[in-house]
Amino acid sequence: MRPISIASAALFASCAVAQTYQRLGGCPTLGCVFPPDQADFLPGQYFDIRLEVHSPINGSEARQGQPDPDFKFTIAKKGEKAVAAAEYFEIDEPKLERWNFTWYEDLFAKDAHKPSLVNVTAKAYRRVALHEPGEYEATLTYYGKEKTVANWLVRDLPEKRRAKNVILFIGDGMTTNMITAARLIAHRSINGKYLTKLQLDKFPVLGHQMTHSMDSFITDSANSATALYAGHKTTVNALNVYVDSSKDPFDDPKFETISEIFRRRYPDGGVGIVSTAFLADATPAGLAAHTRDRGEYDHVISAYFEGLTKYKWTDLEGPDVLLGAGAENFIPSKGAPRDYFKLFADKDYSISWNKTALQAAPNDTKALGVFSSANLPTWLDRNVYQDNLRNKSNYPDGSGRDAEDLPGLKEMTLKAIDVLNARHADDGWFLMSEAASIDKQMHSLDYDRSLGELLELDDTVRATIEKLKALGQLEDTLIIVTADHGHGFDVTGSVDTKYLDAQEDDRDKRKAIGTYQNSGLSQYTVRGPNALRYSEGVHFPARWDPRYTLHAGVVAFPDHQENYAVHSEGPRKPAVKGNGADGYYSNYKDAVTGFLINGTLPVSADQGVHSLTDVPVFAQGPCQELFGGVYNSVDIFFNMAECLGLADHGKN
């Protein structure tokens, strides 16, 4: 047990290369294979293969000569003979490509403006598949006898379908810590026993999934959506591709997503996408797009509309339901290259720009609903501080009016189920519903708004279960609620805001914070003459600005002020640009009575960042037992695919 004793100074070993920056993620050697070593596949899932050979010209890896143009690539099922890939997949040998790129070896190199240059030879094998479960060895041989071996696993999943419908709820950025805080502010307890609970608390099966990227231990929402939808971890900002080193954001090696496979296997099955974000954002985009750059918004909208046009690929044929925000990506006057509202309407979609229209839209018709520009205003602004909806010029027709007749996640999700159920009662459907602003408001340290979104998600899940029960679909529907990554949020006590406001000095203000026994009980649930009230069974705080608020925070943040009071005037903006190039400073106006906290992130950050933590998974319905315990994010894809009977062993 006791490790071999060594001088601690000797612990500094030569493991320093390629951390802040990497030559190419997933490729520590000079020969690169994508999908990389340790990739898993659903039997029959389509994917591209990208090979690269690197020849660094300068820097610590510099070598003589050009990159190998004659590299070889073979595939072998375990125990069988290696076969050249083109022969194995019965396709033409792809043509050789060449390019170069630069990168920085570390922050010192960046400060000194000393990039490293790499010349590249490459090939891509497009749209291949492995049907037979088992282990495979994909071997790239280059520079004579250098080898990069990728061990691939085609998972041995049964082909039998067990669920008719699957609903995947994603609380973007949602952690167990946030769920605990949301319960505290919305549900009454007496002497330590909650009288009511979250819907999430009632799920029969709980799991944890690991969210890390392929090549970094912190993920973004594109990369993690990819893992959840397609079973492959990739690089930050990438959607359903591995990232190669070429400049083109659309030539990276793709892999098929659950929505594509489901539509390919069950042409009469339905697909729905709901989000409170702009619809070109990563989490909804992950069900249609294939690009290494989540910022290619028009690629996303066009992929919803007509699938991929540059490459032969599985056609999603447009989701049945696409509800969310981000009208700017649909309207030529706001910069969209095409008039997508017209195009979708021409393709027989109903188009809704407000809640009234959405609710009146026919259930037997495909539905596009875009309810505002940018992201949908938050639950807190839509329901409590409604003055904040004014003067936003965010009506989705681009007219400059305000969007005020807004659906929330619940209204959108229930409508999506109505449409999917009306159109695909026989063959079933897949629906993704995202509470996007849990993440977005957590980024700006607006914990009240973030928890409001989480409670809206919980209310949506509750209403969804009731709706499925009413439709007779509950027993046939696998419901999963999970997140794509975390934020380092927690609550550590309460704050007497009246006392804090009354103190002059920053250090005195901190006396207002009560920890342990002085945290007391939640004041957000205290009912009284002025308390907010909701429908039976619906739980949100009775008040958002009690005298004693939550002492909440995240573990990494920009410079900011804290007074721990709800931002009733609108979403929070914790940091503002300083003079010159010196990054962001605390936004004094954000919390005038508060005290200053200097940041723990690079000064270029004006908001918080994602965190490492495993995130919870709640499951009920057919196959729920697959979702207990601790596993990788990609297992969510494999479990859903198994439950929908999407594994294709190629024997039929």
Q: Which is nearer to a second copy, 130 or 331 (CB)?
A: 130
Task: Name the residue with tokens 């996303």.
Answer: 300
Q: Is 80 annotated as a binding residue?
A: no
User: CB under 8 A: which stretch of 92-100, 123-131, 208-216, 256-264 binds a second copy?
Assistant: 208-216
Q: How far apart are the C-alpha atoms of 587 and 607, rounded to whole Å? A: 11
Strand partners, 325: 278
- Cβ 308 to a second copy, closest distance in Å? 25
Which of 632, 523, 623, 593 is closest to 166 using CA atoms?
A: 623
How many residues at the interface with a second copy, by CB under 8 A?
A: 155
626 binding a second copy? (CB under 8 A): no
User: CB under 8 A: which stretch of 235-243, 367-375, 426-434, 436-444 binds a second copy?
Assistant: 235-243
365 binding a second copy? (CB under 8 A): no
Site residues for a second copy, 290-329, by CB under 8 A, read none
Helix (H, G, I), strand (E, B), or coil: what is residue 461?
helix
Q: Which is nearer to a second copy, 209 or 329 (CB)?
A: 209
- Cβ 50 to a second copy, closest distance in Å? 14
- Binding string, 589-618, against a second copy, x = CB under 8 A? -------xxxxxxxxxx---xxxxxx-x--
Q: Is 443 annotated as a binding residue?
A: yes
Q: Is 434 annotated as a binding residue?
A: yes
What Å distances lie between residue 257 and 46, 223, 436, 563, CA to CA? 9, 13, 20, 44
- Cβ 597 to a second copy, closest distance in Å? 6
Q: Is 484 annotated as a binding residue?
A: yes
Q: How far apart are the C-alpha atoms of 398 and 231, rounded to whole Å? A: 38
CA dihedral 574, 580, 583, 584 (to 10 degrees): -10
Site residues for a second copy, 511-530, by CB under 8 A, read 511-523, 526, 528-530
Catalytic center residues: 221
Q: Which two tokens stand for residue 369?
A: 């609903």
Asked if residues 233 and 36 have their Cβ atoms less than 8 Å apart, the reply is no
Residues 6+ apart with CB under 8 A from 558: 574, 575, 584, 586, 599, 601, 603, 605, 606, 607, 608
Report which DSSP code applies to 500. H
Strand partners, 103: 116
Q: Which is nearer to a second copy, 396 or 546 (CB)?
A: 546
User: CB under 8 A: which stretch of 54-62, 417-425, 436-444, 625-633 binds a second copy?
Assistant: 625-633
Q: Which is nearer to a second copy, 92 or 536 (CB)?
A: 536
User: CB under 8 A: which stretch of 72-80, 269-277, 290-298, 379-387 binds a second copy?
Assistant: 379-387
Backbone angles phi, psi at 396, to 5 degrees: -70, -10
User: CB under 8 A: which stretch of 5-13, 126-134, 308-316, 324-332 binds a second copy?
Assistant: 5-13
Q: Which is nearer to a second copy, 464 or 613 (CB)?
A: 613
Site residues for a second copy, 453-482, by CB under 8 A, read 459
Q: Is 551 annotated as a binding residue?
A: no
579 binding a second copy? (CB under 8 A): no
Q: How far apart are the C-alpha atoms of 550 and 491, rounded to whole Å? A: 7
Q: How far apart are the C-alpha atoms of 603 and 214, rounded to whole Å? A: 27
Choice from 23, 126, 155, 212 touching a second copy (CB under 8 A): 212
- Cβ 122 to a second copy, closest distance in Å? 19
Q: Which is nearer to a second copy, 159 or 176 (CB)?
A: 176
For the chain, give the number of residues: 652
Q: Which is nearer to a second copy, 570 or 645 (CB)?
A: 570
Choice from 252, 562, 590, 606 touching a second copy (CB under 8 A): 562
Which of 148, 130, 152, 131 is closest to 139 using CA atoms?
A: 148
245 binding a second copy? (CB under 8 A): no
| Cβ neighbour number for residue 194 with a 10 Å cutoff | 13
Own/partner contacts of 520-527, CB < 8 Å, gap of 24 or more, are 520/494, 520/548, 521/189, 522/184, 522/185, 522/189, 523/494, 523/547, 523/548, 523/549, 524/184, 524/185, 524/186, 524/550, 525/185, 525/186, 525/187, 525/188, 525/189
3-state secondary structure 329-340: HCCHHHCCCCCH
Helix (H, G, I), strand (E, B), or coil: what is residue 518?
helix
79 binding a second copy? (CB under 8 A): no
Site residues for a second copy, 161-190, by CB under 8 A, read 175-177, 179-181, 183-184, 189-190
The continuous run of DSSP H or E covering 629 comes out as strand 629-632
- Binding string, 385-414, against a second copy, x = CB under 8 A? xx---------------------x-x----
Extended strands (E) in 497-599: 513-514, 548-554, 560-562, 575-577, 584-586, 595-597
576 binding a second copy? (CB under 8 A): no
| Cβ neighbour number for residue 427 with a 10 Å cutoff | 14
Site residues for a second copy, 408-447, by CB under 8 A, read 408, 410
Choice from 117, 343, 555, 576 touching a second copy (CB under 8 A): 555
User: CB under 8 A: which stretch of 136-144, 295-303, 426-434, 486-494 binds a second copy?
Assistant: 486-494
Which of 216, 209, 225 is closest to 291 using CA atoms?
A: 225
Phi-psi region of 628 (alpha: psi -120 to 50; beta: other; left: phi over 0): beta
109 binding a second copy? (CB under 8 A): no
Q: Which is nearer to a second copy, 96 or 502 (CB)?
A: 502
Choice from 444, 473, 494, 586 touching a second copy (CB under 8 A): 494
Q: Is 281 annotated as a binding residue?
A: yes
User: CB under 8 A: which stretch of 41-49, 53-61, 207-215, 313-321 binds a second copy?
Assistant: 207-215
Angle between the 176-186 and 447-471 helix axes, to the nearest 10 degrees? 90
Q: Which is nearer to a second copy, 31 or 207 (CB)?
A: 207
- Cβ 99 to a second copy, closest distance in Å? 20
Residues 6+ apart with CB under 8 A from 85: 49, 73, 74, 75, 125, 138
Q: Which is nearer to a second copy, 24 or 308 (CB)?
A: 24
- For the annotated binding site for Zn(2+), the residues are 172, 434, 439, 443, 484-485, 610
Q: Which residues are annotated as a binding site?
A: 172, 281, 283, 434, 439, 443, 484-485, 610
Q: What residues form the annotated binding site for Mg(2+)?
A: 172, 281, 283
